[in-house]
Amino acid sequence: MPIRQMKDNSEQHLVIKNHLQNTMNPIQRTPKTAQNGKGPPAGHEPHNTKQSHNHTSPPTKNKGRRRGRGGRKSDQGAVCMRPSSRHCTVAQKPVNPGSADILAATSNGSIQNDHNLSGMEMGFPTSSKSLIFASRPGFGQVGTKCIVKANHFFAELPDKDLNQYDVTITPEVTSRTMNRAIMAELVKLYKGSVLGMRLPAYDGRKSLYTAGEFPFSWKEFSVKLVDEDDGINGPKGEREYKVVVKFVARANMHHLGQFLAGKRADAPQEALQILDIVLRELSTKRYCPIGRSFFSPDIRAPQRLGDGLESWCGFYQSIRPTQMGLSLNIDMASAAFIEPLPVIEFVAQLLGKDLLRPLSDSDRVKIKKALRGVKVEVTHRGNVRRKYRVSGLTSQPTRELVFPVDDNSTMKSIVEYFQEMYGFTIQHTHLPCLQVGNQRKANYLPMEACKIVEGQRYTKRLNERQITALLKVTCQRPRDREHDILQTVQHNAYNQDPYAKEFGVKISEKLASVEARILPAPWLKYHETGKEKDCLPQVGQWNMMNKKMINGMTVSRWACINFSRSVQESVARGFCNELAQMCQVSGMEFNPEPVIPIYSARPELVEKALKHVYNATMNKTKGKELELLLAILPDNNGSLYGDLKRICETDLGLISQCCLTKHVFKISKQYLANVALKINVKTGGRNTVLLDAISCRIPLVSDIPTIIFGADVTHPENGEDSSPSIAAVVASQDWPEVTKYAGLVCAQAHRQELIQDLYKTWQDPVRGTVSGGMIRDLLVSFRKATGQKPLRIIFYRDGVSEGQFYQVLLYELDAIRKACASLEPNYQPPVTFIVVQKRHHTRLFANSHRDRSSTDKSGNILPGTVVDSKICHPTEFDFYLCSHAGIQGTSRPAHYHVLWDENNFTADGIQSLTNNLCYTYARCTRSVSVVPPAYYAHLAAFRARFYMEPEMQENGLNSCSNGQAKGTRAVGESGVRPLPALKENVKRVMFYC
C-alpha cells in the first residue's frame, strides 16, 4: 500500500540540521552546456557515469537533460547519516593562501566579502514601468500527448466599442443591492425615452456600461423607491434619489483583440471588466451573488451542516483572456449559509439543547457571536415583514425588560407591549431579547418573534463536523462535476441573455478541448542496503516495501508521554514497540527501549508534564539531550497539540511526534510507515532523493549550486480583524539533491501579502547598521550546509492572486537582490520567480471518462498531466500541472506562472523540474499537488500560529521569528514583537514534518 499523507494534526515548520562545514575553495559559475544536453563539453566526462547506471531498472539515457561534470565533492552530513552517493561538483578556482571562503560566516553572523563573482552583475529595474513579466519561451514537448477537456467556454468578442458612465446617487447608499434596485427602477422608467433603448450593465457601485452611447453625456434623473432600510418605527415610505449619469470613457475592443492575438503585452483590464460585469448582470438578479460566485437554494436542495447552518450549491463564473481568445471559466461551488429558521430554533441548534431554562453566561456569549450582524425579520405582524440587523443581546431576560412609552417616563414591559400592541404572547420570557438598531437607539425584539432572513452567507469559522458535512457536498467525481458544469451553462442560456445580446457577446456551450501531455514520473533513489535501491512510481504513488531510507537517522534516546486517559500503559508500550520496529525496518537505527518508562499526564497540565519528562530524561542520560519525544494525544485535544509544539520547540528544545488515540488502538502498517518517514526527517534524515539529482542530470539545477526557495503568507480566518498574517520562507539545503529544506517564519501586519522580512536592516549599538532577513539567513545556511555558494535562485511563491502579481514581484525580487548584495558586492545570482496558485477554478477532465487508460482510480486525469496552451495566458509563461493522483472528488491542477526568469528555462525544463520535485515530499509515498517548497512554506506558516502569545493574537501585534534569538527590533517599533525563538537543536532539523 502506498503511504498516504496524514491529515490529523499536521506538524510543520522549517529549519534544517546544519551539515559539517566543508572547507571548499570558492566557486565560479561554469559555462552552460548545450541546451540539448546530449553530452558534456569536450574534455569533461559525466560524473560517475558507470556507477550511476549499474542497475537494470532505470533508463540508461536521459535525453534533453543537462549533465553535471567535474570531480568528487566530499560527503557531507551529520555523523550518523549514511552517505547515499557522490555529489556533483563545479569547476573550482585556486585560492590565494590565507584568503577566506566566499560567504564564509564569521562568529557574529556577518559575512566576509573577500571575493567577487565576475559576470554576475544583474540590474533590477528601478522603475516599476520597466518591469515586464516573463514571456513564454515556447511550448513543452516532453511527455505523452493526449487530449483533455477544460471548464472553459469560448466567448466571441463584441464587434463594437463599449462605453463607461460614472454614476452618483444622492443621498449616498452603501448597499450594492439597494444601488442595483435604484438603477433597475431608473432603467425601467427611462429606457424607452431618455436612455435611447439602451440596456446598461451596472457594477452596483459607481460605474454603468453600455454598448453604444446614450443620447447624452451628462444627465440627472429622479427615482422614487420604497425604503428597504431597517426602519424601527412607523410605516415604510417612499424615498427619492437623485442619480447623475456622466460619460467617462470608451473601452476599445480592438486593443483587447490585439492582446488576445499576442500583439500587445498589456491586458486592457477595463474592457475585460466590462465584459465580466455584462455576463454577471442576469445571474446577479437571479441568484445570491458572493464574490465571483452565485448561489441559490433552487440549484440543488440545501444540505444541513449542523448548528443552524446549511450548504447552498452554486457556480463560479469569470471571463479570462486565453490563447484561444476570451474564455468564460465556469465551475461548481458550495458555501455555508445561515439556515432561515425561527431564531428560537436556530439558538436551540446552536446550543444543542432545549431552551427551557435560563441561559448561562457562556451560552449568551455564543448566541451573541453567532447572531451579531445577522438580518432577521419579524413574524408577529402578519404580512408585515420588517427586517432588522441584530446588534447584540440584552443582558436581562425578556420578563425584566421595560422601556418608556411617553415623555412622562411611563414605563411598560416588553411582555405587556407586545400583548397590547400586537396581541402576541411571549412564551419564553426567561430568554433575552435581540437588540436591533444602533447603540443610541437600540430596540428590543423577542427571539420568538423573529426569523432569520434567507440568503445570508456564514463567514465565520466552521467546526470540524460542519467542515466534514460541507466537504461531502462539494466532493464530486469528475464525471458528475463535468455534467453539472455543462448543465449550469445550458441553464444560464447565455445566448438568450438580454445583456449578452445587447453587448454582442456569444458563449459556446461546449467544454474547451485542450492538448495536454503526461510527464513521466522520476526515478527515486533509496539506500543501497535495501532490496529495491531505486523506484519508479506508478500513477503518482509507490510504497516502502523492500526499501530503506536513503539517509536513515539514529534515535537512541527517546521518551513517550501519554495524554490520553483511554490508553493504558500496556497499550501505549505495545504501540511504541511497533513504531520502533517500523523505523528499524525502514532504515533507521531506533533503540527499542525509551530512556524512562512511558509517562501518563493530564492534558491541562501539559507544560508541567513536558518539563517533568525533560528533566527526568536529562538526569537519566547525564545531560545528553533527548532525540525524540513521542506524544499520545486524545482524538479531540483542543489546544493541547499547539501548546505541546510551542513548549517543545521554543522552550525545551524537543523534537516531538504526536499520535492520536485512534491510531494507537488501531495500529496499521501504513500509518506506522508514514510516522517513520516523519520521524526520520525530523531527526535530520532523508527518505528518498531524485535519481537524476544524484546523477547530476537536472537541467539548470545540477550544473551549478542552486537553491530552491518556497514562500507563502497565511492570513487569519474571516471575522478575525486584528490577528497578524504569518509569512514563511523555506530554502533547500542539500545541493544537488534539493530534498531537505530549512525555513523561517515571521508574523506581520494583518492581511499584508508582501513578505516584510525577506530583507531588512537595523541599527546595532556595537556593529552599527546590520543586515538580515529571511533570504539572507537562508543563503548563509545553504553555504554552511553544502560548502557551496548558491549561484542560481529558483523562487516558488504561493498564495498570490493575479491582481497582486506586479506588486509582489517588484517588492520581493528587490528584497532578494538586496539580500544577495548585502552578502558580497556584485553577488547577484540569476533568479527565476514562479507564482504557485491553487485557489483557481480551472478543472481538467479526461476526454473520455470510459477510457480507463487515461484516468486514475478516482476517474481523474493522470498525475503528470500538464497544459500550457489554449486555456493559458496569451503571451506570458504559465502552465497548469496536475502532479498528483486523485483520491476523492475532482483533482485541482496547480497553476504555475513564471513572472521573472533570468535562468532562461525552457517550458520543458521548468515543467519537468516542478513535476519531479512533487515526488520528493517527505511525509508520504505519493506525489503531491503543489511543489514541496511551497507546500512546506504553507505548513510552516500554519505551525507558527501556535507560537503566538495569546495577547499578541488578540491585539494583532506584528511579530517575527527567524528561529534566532537576536532581538531584531524592540516592541513598539512598527508594532513588531519577536515570536519566541526556536531552540538550537530544533533549528538544525526538519521538525515540521
Domains and CATH numbers, the chain: 155-338+468-514 (no CATH), 343-453 (2.170.260.10), 552-685 (3.40.50.2300), 703-835+902-948+976-992 (3.30.420.10)
Taking a C-beta distance cutoff of 8 angstroms, is the pair 943, 992 a contact? yes
More confident residue, 319 or 125: 319
- Lookup: cell for 307: 448548528
Strand order in the sheet with 162-170: 201-202, 207-211, 162-170, 238-251, 218-226
Q: What is the pLDDT of residue 843?
A: 97
Q: How far apart are CA 272 and CA 460, in angstroms?
A: 32
Phi–psi pair at 665, nearest 5 degrees: -75, -40
The pLDDT-based confidence of 975 (bands split at 50, 70, 90) is: low
Taking a C-beta distance cutoff of 8 angstroms, is the pair 208, 202 a contact? yes
Instruction: Determine whether 193 is exposed, middle or buried from the number of CB atoms within 10 Å of its CB (0-12, 13-18, 19+).
Output: exposed
Q: What is the pLDDT of residue 208?
A: 96
- Lookup: cell for 785: 550546509
What separation, in Å, do the N-terminal and C-terminal C-alpha atoms of the chain show? 21
Q: What is the pLDDT of residue 441?
A: 56
Instruction: Please tell me the number of Cα atoms within 13 Å of 573 on its side-chain side.
Output: 10
Q: How far apart are CA 184 and CA 566, in angstroms?
A: 64
Distances (CA, A) of 754 to 726, 741, 805: 11, 22, 10
Strand order in the sheet with 432-436: 443-446, 432-436, 387-397, 375-378, 450-452
> Which of 293-302, 405-414, 564-573, 695-704 shows the lowest per-residue confidence on average (mean pLDDT)?
405-414
Q: What is the pLDDT of residue 141?
A: 97
Q: How far apart are CA 688 and CA 922, in angstroms?
A: 8
Q: With CA atoms as reference, report the closest residue to 775 among 818, 733, 737, 811.
A: 818
> Which of 438-442, 697-701, 715-719, 918-922 shows the lowest per-residue confidence on average (mean pLDDT)?
438-442
Distances (CA, A) of 328 to 148, 727, 749, 894: 17, 33, 35, 19
Q: What is the pLDDT of residue 500?
A: 95
Does residue 301 have a pLDDT over 80? yes
Q: How far apart are CA 678 and CA 259, in angstroms?
A: 48
Phi–psi pair at 803, nearest 5 degrees: -65, -15
Q: Residue 617: CB partners within 8 Å, gap ≥ 6?
A: 557, 559, 595, 596, 626
Q: How far apart are CA 884 and CA 539, in angstroms?
A: 8
Q: What is the pLDDT of residue 84?
A: 38
**Buried (b) or exposed (e) across 34-58, using 16+ Cβ within 10 A?**
eeebeebeeeeebbbeeebbeeeeb
Q: How far apart are CA 989 and CA 682, in angstroms?
A: 6
Does residue 35 have a pLDDT over 50? no
Distances (CA, A) of 824 to 75, 121, 414: 27, 11, 76
More confident residue, 585 or 958: 585
Q: How far apart are CA 108 and CA 291, in angstroms?
A: 50
Q: Residue 691: CB partners within 8 Å, gap ≥ 6?
A: 58, 522, 523, 524, 525, 534
Q: How far apart are CA 708 and CA 832, in angstroms?
A: 10
Does residue 961 have a pLDDT over 80? no
Phi–psi pair at 969, nearest 5 degrees: -145, 150
Q: How far apart are CA 543 and CA 91, in angstroms?
A: 38
> pTM score, two decimals?
0.84
More confident residue, 25 or 786: 786
Phi–psi pair at 455, nearest 5 degrees: 90, 25
What is the share, in percent, of the chain residues with pLDDT greater than 70? 82
Average pLDDT, the chain: 84
Taking a C-beta distance cutoff of 8 angstroms, is the pair 925, 883 a contact? no
More confident residue, 975 or 730: 730
pLDDT digits (tens, 9 = 90+) for 646-685: 999 989 999 999 999 999 999 999 999 999 999 999 998 9
Helix (H) or strand (E) holding 768: strand 768-772
Q: How far apart are CA 773 and CA 757, in angstroms?
A: 5
Q: How far apart are CA 601 and CA 507, in angstroms?
A: 64
Distances (CA, A) of 919 to 373, 521, 990: 46, 8, 17
Number of C-beta neighbours around residue 179 at 10 A = 21
Q: How far apart are CA 986 and CA 964, in angstroms?
A: 11
Q: What is the pLDDT of residue 807?
A: 95
Distances (CA, A) of 540 to 372, 523, 537, 866: 47, 12, 6, 14
- Lookup: cell for 895: 497553476
Q: With CA atoms as reference, report the closest residue to 359 among 388, 309, 394, 327.
A: 394
Does residue 9 have a pLDDT over 70? no
Max CA separation in the chain (angstroms) = 106
Q: What is the pLDDT of residue 45?
A: 38
Q: What is the pLDDT of residue 438?
A: 64
More confident residue, 116 or 242: 242
- Lookup: cell for 953: 493574537
More confident residue, 952 or 898: 898
* Adjacent-strand bridge partners of 342: 451
Taking a C-beta distance cutoff of 8 angstroms, is the pair 512, 153 a contact? yes
Query: How confident is the model over 317-340, as a mean pLDDT?
Result: 96
> Which of 125-134, 407-416, 482-491, 561-570 shows the lowest per-residue confidence on average (mean pLDDT)?
125-134
Q: What is the pLDDT of residue 339?
A: 96
The pLDDT-based confidence of 158 (bands split at 50, 70, 90) is: confident
Q: How far apart are CA 604 and CA 26, in angstroms?
A: 54
Q: What is the pLDDT of residue 819?
A: 96
What torsion do the CA atoms of 447, 448, 451, 457 make, to the nearest 10 degrees? 40
Taking a C-beta distance cutoff of 8 angstroms, is the pair 349, 308 a contact? yes
Q: What is the pLDDT of residue 718?
A: 74
Query: How confident is the model over 875-899, as a mean pLDDT?
Result: 96
Query: How confident is the model over 622-626, as a mean pLDDT?
Result: 90
What is the share, in percent, of the chain residues with pLDDT greater than 90? 68
